[in-house]
Amino acid sequence: MTTVAVKGFSWRHAGRSAWAVRDVELTVEPGERILLLGPSGAGKSTLLAGIAGLLPTDTGEQEGEILLDGRPPTGTHRPGILFQDPETQLVMARSGDDVAFGLECRGMPAGAIWPRVTETLRTVGFGHPLDRATAALSGGEKQRLALAGVLAPQPDLLLLDEPTANLDPAGAELVRAGIAAALADRRRGMILVEHRVAAALPLIDRVVVLSAGGGVAVDGPPEKVFAEHGASLAAQGVWVPGSVPPEHRTTRTAGAELLRAERLGYRHRDRPTPALSDVDLAVPAGQVLAVLGPNGSGKSTLALLLGGLVPPSSGRVVATPALAAGGRGDTPRRRDATVPPHRWRAATLAGRIGSVFQNPEHQFVAARVRDELALGPRRLRRPAGEIAATVDDLLDRLRLAHLAEANPYTLSGGEQRRLSVATALSAAPRLLVLDEPTFGQDLRTWRETVALLGGLADEGRGIAVVTHDTDLVGALADRTVSLAAGRLTTPAEVA
Amino acid sequence: MRLAPDLAPPDARAARLNPLGKLGAVLILSLAVLASIDPVTPTVALVGVLAVLPFGGLAYDRLLRRAWPVLFGAVLVGVANMLFAADQGGAVLLAAGPVHLTTGSVAAGGALGLRVLAIALPGVVAFATTDPTDLADCLVQQLRVPARFAIGALAAYRLMPLLADEWELLGLARRARGVDAGRNPLARGRLFVATLFALLVGAVRRGGRLATAMDARGFDAATPRTFARRHPFTGTDAAVLAGGAVLAAVALAVSVGTGTYQPLVG
């Protein structure tokens, strides 16, 4: 059984002036299950990496120490740690080989490896054969396999760094079930970093909250911590139980129709079955249309089609004159009304339909926040004075003014999300198409995003958002349709 | 997961061989073909390779369907060299405007095309029937290549398909931002470089995360590794390796014996 002693631990990444973790004092007894909370930037992930022995001394500056049973963690003297992104945790091409990888590293005799692999996969509920290609697994299955790989050496302590943040609800459920099974015999301790507290509550018996300025702010049993500090934790972005805002009641009135999908279908090259078929849908101005569906239902493909980014394989996307009149500046022609969005020049498209991708970083092309915002209007050849006014207005409205000179890649998750919406708005499109705008966000960023999008719809913009976040739909959507296996399951009433 | 999965059925006999025997044989044969610039050596080597393919469970029609780009490339190289060969000696076969073919240029171009085919085809077949995991295992277990390198490269290879998806997504995201190049080749070049840079930044971050996850599972430990999978080097594998050497020797011997041998150097 493992005892963790964190003694006055501080860590500063090489080349940074601020400490990532400051003066943390913490003892974890064998078998304890801790939920580690704290505002974004308090150093939760860095502390976990330190306990896992993953902060090599040449990558930063350390004060204090972390001991596992009296020795610093290193080599095979480490707890198990599961990270957020399943793609960058799987090492091998076949599922069984991946679980065996950690056992090989620990020098386990070959004869003992395969029985252990099979046993661990059974524990986490992985139902596929050992030779199943890891590339063919869904996100949730990949993460469950990664969990098996971490558990196979039977660590006494399990560290979990937002293990379900990258997964859809079904995938997250798979992984949570696997974690519960791994902890069922109560022989193993756990430290969990997770924004969504409700889902974690059944697994934990102690809550530790890091403070933004360093040290431990709160430490105690869950009921007590949430009763006494629930409000301040919610303000810091923690999804404490009951923190989801009430559903919005007043349905906005639909304005003119902007974009229409008619029998829309799409098939990826080399795929036998279409990703999307026969979708009929209308997006009006002044309303939020939500498209719900699990991963693989064709949601993201629909967002790309509506955004005019890929050509449909069948059916069509029709921009109404109300939409195609926007984005002036780049050779507006009368026949534009009949040209489908995927054939518009990029600058014209950006002036009419703004697309916001799931990962904000995919959309960043400039070295400064200010240049990022100036790009859209510049491509539309707007006058310099107008560009400057647009940029300043967006910086103010989205509270990015203090970051105007910063590099977009250095922003926090919430700031990056605001910037990605701002970049889409900079060319003043009447329609916004967003793909999972609230993916993996803490409560604070989530609330900001909801308020931002609601405000844009109130201004009269059309908003189409594809998501599996039902809280988002409840708080924001005026109309909701559902996709399953590439088809609409709820008929959309065409306005 | 294999490098060119469609070339042979997954249970083909060639796919079950030890990768080192197979690749070793191909390496020896390729060196022999590389070392000679006459047409006879590659011809004998090619005939030999084609003759043994059915024993490895490979069918000619399937090979032609899947590996035609190799054949096409070899023909292209051959024709280009016939047209632009430095060797313009011998009788003139065709002189039509800029096209000037002589027996010398045809022989030189043909020999080059044959060499390309004789080197590329066995290599393509060997890699297409090799599972990268098996190859990495054998490199570590039999050739004592450091695991840090072989398994690390294997893990990086697993990320390659992600890179292709990422590339497509970055291109779409740029279009969504209003950035496209239209028909301007200079703008196209700039956009390509910018997108490539973004791709590399993402790849480096992802590679770093994967390396951390591997170390967390003990990849950086000093403990000697054990091997969950064993790939014995059997008598058949030794025979394959020896077969490659024999074929290389026969090809060179026939070439020298018929008086056509021309070394690459000298």
Does the distance separating the beta carbons of B158 and A379 come in below 8 Å? no
Name the pLDDT band for A445 (thresholds 50, 70, 90).
confident
Does the distance separating the beta carbons of A103 and B133 come in below 8 Å? no
The pLDDT tens digits for B165-214 are 899 999 999 999 988 887 888 888 888 998 998 899 889 989 999 999 99
Same structural domain for residues A369 and A436?
yes
Q: Are A95 and A138 in contact (CB under 8 A)?
A: no
Mean pLDDT, residues B7-36: 90
Judged by DSSP in three states, A319 sits in strand
Per-residue pLDDT at A329 exceeds 50: no
Same structural domain for residues A55 and A192?
yes
Tell me the longest C-alpha to C-alpha distance in chain B: 71
Whether residue A90 lies within 8 A of chain B, CB to CB, comes out as yes
Does the distance separating the beta carbons of B179 and A349 come in below 8 Å? no
Whether residue A379 lies within 8 A of chain B, CB to CB, comes out as yes
Chain B interface test: which of A76, A78, A90, A91 (most B C-beta within 10 Å): A91
Task: Please list every residue in chain A whose beta carbon sits closer than 8 Å to the beta carbon of residue B161.
Answer: 135
Q: For chain A, what is the domain count?
A: 2
How many whole angstroms separate alpha carbon A56 and alpha carbon A283?
Answer: 52
Whether residue B225 lies within 8 A of chain A, CB to CB, comes out as yes
Name the pLDDT band for A331 (thresholds 50, 70, 90).
very low
Same structural domain for residues A267 and A363?
yes
Mean pLDDT, residues A421-446: 88
- Whether A373 maps to a domain, the answer reads yes
Does the distance separating the beta carbons of A106 and B133 come in below 8 Å? no
Whether residue A304 lies within 8 A of chain B, CB to CB, comes out as yes
Planar angle of CA B37, B41, B44, nearest 5 degrees: 155
The pLDDT tens digits for B49-71 are 999 999 988 888 888 888 888 89
Whether residue A89 lies within 8 A of chain B, CB to CB, comes out as yes
State percent of chain B over pLDDT 90: 50
- Alpha-carbon gap: B170 to the closest alpha carbon of chain A (Å): 6
User: Ranked by mean pLDDT, which of A239-248, A342-351, A440-449 comes out on top?
Assistant: A342-351
Task: Please list every residue in chain A whose beta carbon sits closer than 8 Å to the beta carbon of residue B171.
Answer: none
Name the pLDDT band for B234 (thresholds 50, 70, 90).
very high
- Alpha-carbon gap: B176 to the closest alpha carbon of chain A (Å): 6
Same structural domain for residues A39 and A159?
yes
CATH label of the domain that carries residue A484: 3.40.50.300
State percent of chain A over pLDDT 90: 57
Residue where one domain finishes, among candidates A179, A201, A235: A235
What residue of A is the nearest CA neighbor of B167? A362
Per-residue pLDDT at A146 exceeds 90: yes
Task: Please list every residue in chain A whose beta carbon sits closer than 8 Å to the beta carbon of residue B158.
Answer: 90-93, 134-135
Whether residue B175 lies within 8 A of chain A, CB to CB, comes out as yes
Tokens linked to A37:
């909370």
CA A108 → CA A73, A254, A287, distances in Å? 19, 65, 60
Of the candidates A206, A170, A203, A171, the residue with the CA atom closest to the CA atom of residue A184: A203
Report the residue from B182, B210, B227 with minimal CB separation from A104. Answer: B227
Report the residue from A105, A134, A351 with minimal CB separation from B218. Answer: A105
Q: Name the average pLDDT for chain B.
A: 88
- Alpha-carbon gap: B72 to the closest alpha carbon of chain A (Å): 23
Per-residue pLDDT at A248 exceeds 80: no
Per-residue pLDDT at A335 exceeds 60: no
Per-residue pLDDT at A383 exceeds 70: yes
Same structural domain for residues A355 and A311?
yes
Same structural domain for residues A225 and A265?
no
Residue where one domain finishes, among candidates A235, A268, A301: A235
Q: Provide the ipTM.
A: 0.86
Name the pLDDT band for B265 (thresholds 50, 70, 90).
confident
**Which residues 191-230 in chain A show a CB within 8 A of chain B?**
none
Chain B interface test: which of A74, A89, A105, A343 (most B C-beta within 10 Å): A105
Does the distance separating the beta carbons of A78 and B172 come in below 8 Å? no
Q: What is the pLDDT of residue A198?
A: 85
Of how many residues is chain A composed? 495
The pLDDT tens digits for A298-318 are 899 999 999 999 999 999 999
Tokens linked to A488:
């609409």
Per-residue pLDDT at A327 exceeds 70: no
- Alpha-carbon gap: B122 to the closest alpha carbon of chain A (Å): 25
What residue of B is the nearest CA neighbor of A161? B213
Domain limits at A378? Answer: 257-488
Q: Is B184 exposed, middle or buried (0-12, 13-18, 19+ CB in 10 A)?
A: exposed
Name the pLDDT band for A494 (thresholds 50, 70, 90).
very low
Mean pLDDT, residues A205-229: 92
Mean pLDDT, residues A23-44: 91
> What does DSSP say about strands A479-484 and A487-488: parallel, antiparallel, or unpaired?
antiparallel
Task: Please list every residue in chain A whose beta carbon sits closer than 8 Å to the beta carbon of residue B217.
Answer: 80, 91, 101-102, 105, 149-150, 153
Same structural domain for residues A208 and A327?
no
How many whole angstroms separate alpha carbon A197 and alpha carbon B107?
Answer: 76
Name the pLDDT band for B32 (thresholds 50, 70, 90).
very high
Residue type, A70: G
Planar angle of CA A201, A206, A208, nearest 5 degrees: 105
Tokens linked to B59:
């069918």
Residue where one domain finishes, among candidates A200, A235, A270: A235
Mean pLDDT, residues A190-212: 91
Tell me the longest C-alpha to C-alpha distance in chain A: 76
- Alpha-carbon gap: A461 to the closest alpha carbon of chain B (Å): 17
CA B110 → CA A490, B69, B79, distances in Å? 65, 17, 7
Whether residue A133 lies within 8 A of chain B, CB to CB, comes out as yes
Whether residue B224 lies within 8 A of chain A, CB to CB, comes out as yes
CA A163 → CA A142, A146, A174, A178, B15, distances in Å? 11, 10, 11, 11, 38
Same structural domain for residues A316 and A421?
yes
Name the pLDDT band for B141 (thresholds 50, 70, 90).
very high
Q: Are A167 and A135 in contact (CB under 8 A)?
A: no
Q: What is the pLDDT of residue B85?
A: 72
The pLDDT tens digits for B99-135 are 778 888 888 888 899 999 999 999 999 988 898 999 9
Per-residue pLDDT at A189 exceeds 60: yes
Chain B interface test: which of A84, A88, A166 (most B C-beta within 10 Å): A88
Estimate to the nearest angstrom the gap between the alpha carbon of A368 and the chain centroid. Answer: 23
What residue of B is the nearest CA neighbor of A307? B176
Q: Name the average pLDDT for chain A.
A: 89
Query: Long-range contacts made by residues B136-139, C-beta under 8 angstroms, separation at least 24?
Result: B137/B227, B137/B229, B137/B231, B138/B18, B138/B19, B138/B20, B138/B231, B139/B20
Alpha helix stretches (DSSP H) within A277-357: 299-306, 321-324, 346-352
Instruction: Mark A89-110 as b/e (b = at least 16 C-beta within 10 Å).
Output: bbbbbbbbbbbbbbbbbbebee
Report the residue from B162, B194, B217 with minimal CB separation from A101. Answer: B217
Q: Which residues contact A227 (CB under 8 A, 6 or more apart)?
A: none
Whether residue A111 lies within 8 A of chain B, CB to CB, comes out as no
Same structural domain for residues A445 and A479?
yes
Residue type, A101: F
Q: What is the pLDDT of residue B83?
A: 84
Same structural domain for residues A33 and A91?
yes
State percent of chain B over pLDDT 70: 96
- Alpha-carbon gap: A32 to the closest alpha carbon of chain B (Å): 21
